[in-house]
Amino acid sequence: MLFTVPPELIQQQVSLALAEDVGSGDVTAALLPETRQANARIICRQSAVIAGHAWFDEVFRQLDPATRIDWQISDGDRVEADQLLCELRGPVRSLLTGERTALNFLQLLSGTATSVRHYVDQVADTGARILDTRKTLPGLRLAQKYAVSCGGGTNHRIGLYDMVLIKENHIAAAGSILKAVDTARGLSPQLEVEVEVETLEQLEQALEAGVERVLLDNMSLKTLGQAVSLNSGRAILEASGGITLENIREVAQTGVDFISVGALTKDVQAVDLSLRIKED
C-alpha cells in the first residue's frame, strides 16, 4: 500500500516550486504564440522505478487545467531505458513553462523509488524489510516517504511527533535507558517506544524496560546475530548504520526485522527524463 500524501500539501509544494522557477513570468515561453497548442512526450532514459505522478500533474493543472496528460505507466512501475511514460497536450507556453518543475519532481521521486527498489531486491526472501529515515530533503519529506513506498520500502516515523525514538544523547541526558523509557511512557503513553542501542548489554536493558522496538546501531554481523538470539522475539529489531547494497543481504540474514537506510532519501540520484515537444 502506497503512503498517502494530502492533496493540499502537493498543491502547496508545487505552488512554491513554480513561484521559485517562474517568478514574474516565463520570458522565454512568451516568445511563442499564446494560442498555439502542442503535444509533448516524456521519455525515461534509463531503467528506473517511477514515482511522482501527482506532483507532475499538479504542475500543469496550476499552469493550465486544460492540459491533458495520458500516463502509460503507474507509480511503482519499473520501466526500461527509452520507455514512454506519458503524453501531454496543451498550450505550448504552459508545456514549456512547466517542463522543468514537473520533471524535477518526477526525476527526484523516481530516483528515490529506484534506489529503494535496489535495496528491496537485495533482501528478497529474507523476511527483512527496508525502512526509510528522517534524512530527507527539507520540505519534501512526505513526498520522499511516498516514493519510498513506491519502491517497495516501509516508512518509519514521519517526524518527531509520531513515535518516541530514544537515542544515545537522550539516554545520556536522562541518566539511563530505563529512566528515559519510563519518562516516555508517562509523557506519551499512546506512542510506540524505540530505543537505540550499541551493545548487547544495552539491548538487555531496553528489553527489560519493555520497549516495542530496538534499533541496533552499527553492530557487526556477529553481534546482530547474537542480538536476534537474545531478543527471542520480544521486540521488533531494526538494524542501522553502515548499510550498503553490498552488505545489506548479510545484515538481513542475521534475522533482524527491519533495516533502515538513510541513503534512500539522502543520497538521491535523479532519474534521467526527457520532455520533447511536437507542435501541431
Domains by residue range for the chain, with CATH: 7-118+268-278 (3.90.1170.20), 120-266 (3.20.20.70)
Alpha-carbon distance 212 to 209, whole Å? Answer: 9
What is the average per-residue pLDDT within 141-170?
Answer: 97
The three cell numbers of residue 230 are: 537474545
What pLDDT is recorded for position 260? 98
pLDDT, averaged across the chain = 96
Calculate mean pLDDT across residues 141-169. Answer: 97
What is residue 190's predicted lDDT score, i.e. its pLDDT? 96
- What does 135-201 look like in DSSP terms, one character per residue? ---TT-HHHHHHHHHHTT-B---SSSSSSEEE-HHHHHHHSSHHHHHHHHHHH-TTS-EEEEESSHH
Of 58, 99, 217, 257, the catalytic one is 217
Confidence of residue 279 (pLDDT cuts 50, 70, 90): low
Instruction: State pLDDT tens for residues 222-249.
Output: 999 999 999 999 999 999 999 999 999 9
Does residue 263 have a known ligand-binding role?
yes
Q: Which of 135, 141, 185, 234 is catalytic?
A: 135
Which residue stretches of 85-128 are H helix?
A: 92-122
Q: Is 167 a catalytic residue?
A: yes
157 known member of a binding site? yes
Say how many C-beta atoms besides its own lie within 10 A of residue 273's C-beta.
21
Query: 93 among the known binding-site residues?
Result: no
194, 196, 238, 257: the active-site residue: 196
pLDDT classification of 280: cutoffs 50, 70, 90: low
The response to whether 223 counts as a known ligand-binding position is: no
Q: Is the dihedral of CA 188, 189, 191, 193 positive or negative?
A: positive
pTM passes above 0.75: yes
Angle made by CA atoms 88, 91, 96, in degrees to the nearest 5: 75
| CA 158 – CA 75 distance, rounded (Å) | 21
User: Does the active-site annotation cover 222?
Assistant: no
pLDDT tens-place string over residues 20-78: 999 999 999 999 999 999 999 999 999 999 999 999 999 999 999 999 999 999 999 99
The pLDDT score that the predictor gives to residue 1 is 80
Percent of the chain whose pLDDT exceeds 90 = 98
How high is the pLDDT of residue 133? 97
Q: Please check if 180 is assigned to a binding site.
A: no
On whether 279 is known to bind a ligand per the annotation, the reply is no
**Active site (annotated) includes residue 100:** yes
Which of 100, 179, 276, 278 is an active site residue? 100
Taking the C-alpha atoms of residue 151 and residue 187, their distance in angstroms, rounded to an integer, is 35
